[in-house]
Structure 1
């Protein structure tokens, strides 16, 4: 009995010692992590005096960009709400921010944060995006930074507050409303009909590509992949589509949007062209500021009020080049079907690789949200592109726009157009009063384009072809 007692006591002592060692190791690990976060916080707050390298994309030097203290927002004035979506780096929540905008007591916002269990890499990625947003300032077609809560960064709490776009991302919006689409293409010419002509209401064929259950990296598919039920669709004399039954989406959308009190109009071909133009303008601004996007896709373009689209989630290219992130240890899909040949093969990212992605976005728009390169496995994409395969013209794209898509998919990056050139060419397909409307919305960040657009119009009036720079430079 004595020996058993001694054995029990010895076992208990060993267990206590082991548990103490484990507890001390855990505390030490937490302490080291907190010190590391604090060091990054000091670096983040104090900035860096190193001058940016003009030969390197600013998005690849984001750690050198300063955080502007004017964006610091009191955490006590921010209320978090429902989750809008989640991605590789964290979670986006709907929120209410008091006095974050002048003349508004409470503003509905979107708040980006990292998960409680997220790694330091995720925090670093969000900090990089915050720095880029500070550097970019405001543009009508980019999701603008409204504020940030960084005071508790050493405890793993970071909130980046940006504009809220009530209608969600374009990919989900197209799927949800595709059965109410008004096709304005002329069957004979393949181009958009005259403004006064009524378009045709289409209802996607269930057997067509992209219909029914399909492999889509961004959706959880339920009974119907186009988000519609079988209710009847009609059209009035002025081309407005009406439903005899309410919509009953079968999809759990990535960012479903907020339609409270809103009666949305049907999507028309002219809307798609207008969105394409706005996206090119936003990307023109990004390229002028030397920011590479790296993940330009319809899922990363949000629809706001007044039919304004805004690009979000900038600066992924550096993360994709990083070996650990390229393997995508966060569990989400790599955007291989939106990536250029050189990005897939050599992990080379540039404004020209963003141009390639823009071409894929155009294809998404005019296919009403179909999955690009349908039926091609992601790991076969690189060789398929090298072999010369390119997607065919989507059914609802004017031939002139498909020509633009094809120019974006040139194998040699230098042969692809610049975003400045793309913005000009798409603008030629839009009525003058529509262009003037978006230039005159009253946003201060659109004024910089007003004079340039007037000069372009005067050039056309005098019969001269406007000069298009191959590259936009600072």
Structure 2
């Protein structure tokens, strides 16, 4: 046994024997002795199990009102809640246990001095004010000024031991004692960036809050602190990037236009998915959404703007080095040749007076101006509707000619509906040539968009220009003569189907009839039958992407709105694009394979949404858990009051083998048959 620890136990025993009666009074009168007992504490050797990895052979600070066993039980209960939580991000989860352990059991730097101080305080207070002076003692303990005045009168040995220690002025507490607490910088990174949502939940949770979550603002800034192991990924020697720059960890923090980069956590909500962004404002490419590292910058016309960073590509640097070496070698060869020619001319040989050179203006590669233009904007995702096959060369030109063209003077912008991949989507009014005014949804391309983004915008016009069906939201016209370029769509008064279902659910004390459920499903299936018949794959069929008009008219759309209310419906799989995994079959999740058959799977999930009044599929499960459920064939259960035949159709749509799923034509036929049957029964009842 450690000699110091043995002496410590001996001192504690002697003090306890000498003042055991008074110490018992102190321990049993916590309701009268708030000044000492509830805030002070002692250091004990940690002998538990749950925090053994972080506190092995360490003395930890314990309040005298609890024991290590009590804290151990609380920690086990709190960690059990965390392990079962569906809201805990995987990058945050690994810091949960060390954070709980080091918060509730801070390490004592000087355990012997802390414990001597505690028992010296107990001894002096109980000895000085025993017997008939109980009331005076209680008064002194409750008044900090009187307690401080009293402590000045402590014996000589007390001053010798604690003269230069901050603890000598007060009984040892978590705030005043010489403790090794969690590093404040790491605590703030967890609370404000990496585990922002988790911290907020923990502070309110009845089991976790009992253990005690650190208030980061109250922790002193010290170099000697308990680290949680959070590292900021930075390599100041890295001055170029490979491939798309997603692995770049250099310290460039200025955009290509010279604007300083903003801190990622200020503007990026999903920073917990990208631990390489915490605590910094360096250029990065999280999720490979761009072709090179970028960052957020201040923009006077926008709340936020993104710009690429002026970082060279490592391959380019390598080639530049090779070219420089070759150029130097070429210069050396030329100089050598000149010297040889001079020698020959000195021997009487004639100099070459002129050399015919080819005309450099006739470049066989043509005008390279377009090829040299770089896409400096953020990469935009196209509409999820995709045409299977290769369009003809004149398709875009013919499509643009067929669509009515309007000017900005023909359109009046109203409220903002959301923001998509190309820019904002607004509600507005269009004045047509016949002076008729109609409500429209305006999909606007953000101003000063890159050439690549403009091409994607026109590509979408090309794709949807030929779509004409009563259950597809059709394009009414375009504005392409002046920025902002816009696509104009018919406006659907009742919003998206997801919101419509919720607003007509039992939660709102409303219900839909079985005929209305079938009416909604039939319209979506007929719209998808039309799309599949024209070789289109939607890729994001869901209730949120179907719009509802008056008279229960439902039409398929995809404005790609990135509203916060639907952010949980998408998940970044293996650092690729955000994907709606709750609506996707295994072949799409694992291999990125999108087909009409994968749209049929999604339709089955939409049916489930309809009959469950807009509930989120696999509600309560995290996105990684949903992927596991789908792969292991643990599918959605039958919604309440859903007919057996309809649920059987859902299960057919979710067949593991894509070729065995029903076609949209078959689905439409079966839904119409059921609908007609319900109508006949209703008429007979009348």
TM-score of the pair, normalised by structure 2: 0.39
- 1:165 matches 2:492: yes
- 1:151 matches 2:484: no
Q: 1:408 to 1:85 in 2, by over 3 A?
A: same
CA deviation profile, 1:162-214 (whole Å, cap 9, x unmatched): 110000000011112213xxxxxxxxxxxxxxxxxxxxxxxx5xxxxxxxxxx
- Determine if contact 1:293/1:314 at 8 Å carries over to the other structure: no
CA shift at 1:349, angstroms? 0.6
- Pairs within 5 Å for 1:45-444: 58-59=387-388, 61=390, 65-66=395-396, 67-71=399-403, 72-99=405-432, 105-116=436-447, 122-136=453-467, 138-152=468-482, 157-179=484-506, 204=507, 228=508, 267-313=512-558, 327=575, 333-431=578-676
CA shift at 1:92, angstroms? 1.3
CA shift at 1:73, angstroms? 1.8
Q: 1:364 to 1:388 in 2, by over 3 A?
A: same
Q: 1:118 to 1:365 in 2, by over 3 A?
A: farther
The residue aligned with 2:90 is none
Q: 1:279 to 1:22 in 2, by over 3 A?
A: closer
Higher relative contact order (CA 8 A, sep 6+): 1
Segments of structure 2 that go 5 or more residues without pairing to the other structure are: 1-256, 260-306, 311-368, 376-385, 562-571, 681-686
Q: Equivalents in 2 of 1:118, 1:134: separation in Å?
A: 22
Give the greater-gyration-radius structure (CA). 2
- Determine if contact 1:293/1:354 at 8 Å carries over to the other structure: yes
Q: How many residues align?
A: 298
Q: 1:327 to 1:434 in 2, by over 3 A?
A: farther
Paired residue secondary structure (1:274): helix
Backbone CA RMSD of aligned residues: 3.8
- Pairs within 5 Å for 1:24-43: none
CA shift at 1:313, angstroms? 1.5
CA shift at 1:146, angstroms? 0.2
Q: 1:121 to 1:170 in 2, by over 3 A?
A: farther
CA shift at 1:130, angstroms? 1.4
Q: Equivalents in 1 of 2:493, 2:556: separation in Å?
A: 14
Q: Equivalents in 2 of 1:305, 1:408: separation in Å?
A: 29
Q: Equivalents in 2 of 1:311, 1:326: separation in Å?
A: 29
Q: Equivalents in 1 of 2:661, 2:438: separation in Å?
A: 41
The residue aligned with 1:471 is none
Paired residue secondary structure (1:382): helix
- Determine if contact 1:292/1:314 at 8 Å carries over to the other structure: no
Q: 1:314 to 1:88 in 2, by over 3 A?
A: closer
CA shift at 1:35, angstroms? 6.0
Paired residue secondary structure (1:428): helix
CA shift at 1:110, angstroms? 0.5
CA shift at 1:143, angstroms? 0.0
CA deviation profile, 1:73-102 (whole Å, cap 9, x unmatched): 2222111111112234432101111116x6
- Determine if contact 1:336/1:378 at 8 Å carries over to the other structure: yes
- Determine if contact 1:129/1:313 at 8 Å carries over to the other structure: no
- Determine if contact 2:400/2:461 at 8 Å carries over to the other structure: no
Paired residue secondary structure (2:630): helix
Q: Equivalents in 1 of 2:679, 2:459: separation in Å?
A: 35
Q: 1:407 to 1:118 in 2, by over 3 A?
A: farther
- Determine if contact 1:141/1:309 at 8 Å carries over to the other structure: yes
Q: 1:122 to 1:377 in 2, by over 3 A?
A: farther
CA shift at 1:306, angstroms? 2.0
- Determine if contact 1:167/1:304 at 8 Å carries over to the other structure: yes
Q: Equivalents in 2 of 1:311, 1:427: separation in Å?
A: 18
Q: 1:413 to 1:167 in 2, by over 3 A?
A: same
Paired residue secondary structure (1:126): helix
Quick check: 380-389 or 274-283, which moved more?
380-389
Q: Equivalents in 2 of 1:36, 1:434: separation in Å?
A: 60
CA shift at 1:411, angstroms? 1.0
Q: Equivalents in 2 of 1:374, 1:337: separation in Å?
A: 10
Q: Equivalents in 2 of 1:368, 1:386: separation in Å?
A: 25
Q: 1:303 to 1:382 in 2, by over 3 A?
A: same
CA deviation profile, 1:134-172 (whole Å, cap 9, x unmatched): 122x100000110001123xx6x3200011000000001
TM-score of the pair, normalised by structure 1: 0.56
